Amino acid sequence: MDINLTFIIQGLAFFAVAWLVMKFGWPHIMAAIEERQRKIAEGLAAADNAQKNLAQAEEKVAEELKAARAKANEIIEQAHQRANQIVDAAKAEAIAEGSRQKALVETEIAASANRAREDLRKQVSTLAVAGAEKLLRREIDASAHKALLDELAAQLSDEAA
């Protein structure tokens, strides 16, 4: 055998195998590679979309937190205002109750003072009658001289005032 003939047969066999692979195997290999590339591209696109969705979700969460904080601050401010209103109302009610109690006490004091003046007038008139009785050395009839005693009590009260 000649080296050239072997070389030609091997070359023909090589080209036949290469042609068969290119005809029947190569399209399937290329289709698998293209499918894999397509899946990788879809995965990258999905990852980009997921990143965008995540960023949007984070922005929305930040906005919701900001709104919730603003609402909470508003509620706290309203609570403070309401507490101040309640305190002011309680102060006003306490002042009104104090004024009412003071007026009642002042009225009671005035009534007690008037009773004390009347008692004092009666005692003074009794003492005046007793003194006059001692001076005159005779008994004065209080019912007979009631007008005179009332006039004396009125004079005494005018002088005391």
Give exposure, 133-159, as e/b (b: 16+ Cβ within 10 Å): eeeeeeeeeeeeeeeebeebbeebeee
Contact (Cβ atoms closer than 8 angstroms) between residue 140 and residue 134 = no
> Per-residue confidence of the chain (161 residues) as pLDDT tens digits?
567 888 899 999 999 999 998 899 888 999 999 999 999 999 999 999 999 999 999 999 999 999 999 999 999 999 999 999 999 999 999 999 999 999 999 999 998 988 888 888 888 777 777 777 766 655 556 666 677 677 777 777 676 65
Q: How far apart are CA 156 and CA 65, in angstroms?
A: 84
Output the pTM of the full model: 0.44
Give the integer Cα–Cα distance in Å for 37 and 157: 122
CA atoms of 131 and 149, how far apart (whole Å): 13
Distance between the two ends of the chain, CA-based, in angstroms?
165
